[in-house]
Amino acid sequence: MVTLLALGSSLVWGTSDFFAGLASRRRPAVAVVGWTQGLALLVVTAVVLLRWDTVTFTGWPLWSVAAGLAGMTGLVCFYSALSSGTMGVVAPIAALGVVVPVVLGVASGDTPSAWAWAGMAVAVAGVTLASGPELSGAVSPRPVLLAAVAAVGFGLALFCLDRGARESTLLTLWGMRITSVAILLVVALAARSTGGVTSRELPGLLLIGCGDLGANLLFGLASSRGQVSIASVLGSLYPVVTTLLARVVIGERLRRVQQVGVVLAVGGAVLIAA
């Protein structure tokens, strides 16, 4: 069950990230994050209100705030990278944020096998190859740098989400959205702009927000029932979905060295899970 939940999160994450990347090519990344997080907050708030008699405020609030801050930073950087870089390269780099919860999980008691450490080495080699053409000067290194920052943000968010989910997955997700939306609302007020988003775009942004929310829910359920290090790795396989959709829907092609790098990065994640 833990494996299915974690793999389910990677499937939903990969799909929502692909469409978020497309949306970020039309609107500023911070606007896409703000609207998707805000709409998702409305959904999760409705669920919390329906279960208000079970709500407690112990164990999860601080973890949810930390997860919200880290996750928001990761999403803004990730969507910005997707909007200007090759999705099949950006997504695997961001997915290497899995190393963060693996290390923190081990430090707090998880016991991954030797395969996990071998997988990390393979994944690092893979991301180096996948990023090679981006860093060669032919293409701006900005998407790669943004994806690297996103990786750290995602990794910290996953670990904090896991810790909060041990008390309540639903309430941790609620706190995450409240945190990110509050900060992004301040940014919108300061900029005096909502990113130019029109009412016709709201249904799509709602689906993206619910996709990210659903993926977080699946991951929280998986990690709270098993080792956060293993659940994180399985959840990090979403680049396979993002890359496949980019190839099929928009005809995105990778150079040979990038293809090898993407395979190694994903293969490294599989080794960690093994």
Residue 103 identity: V
Distance CA 59, CA 40 (A): 23
**Cα–Cα distance for residue pair 180/188, rounded to 1 Å:** 12
Q: CA distances (Å), 197 to each of 31, 72, 84, 194, in order?
A: 8, 19, 19, 7
Quick check: 10 and 241 in contact, CB under 8 A? yes
Whole-model pTM: value is: 0.81
* CA distance linking residue 208 with residue 94, whole number of Å: 18
Question: Which domain, by its residues, includes 168?
Answer: 2-273
pLDDT (tens, 9 = 90+) of the chain, 274 residues, equals 777 888 899 899 889 988 988 888 888 888 888 899 999 999 999 999 998 988 888 889 999 999 999 988 988 888 888 777 676 677 777 877 878 888 888 888 777 677 777 877 787 777 667 655 555 555 567 888 888 899 999 899 989 999 998 899 999 999 999 999 998 898 888 888 888 888 899 999 999 999 999 999 999 898 888 778 778 877 877 777 887 788 788 887 777 777 787 788 778 777 766 6
Report how many domains make up the chain. Answer: 1
- Centre a 10 Å sphere on the Cβ of residue 219 and count the other Cβ atoms it contains: 29
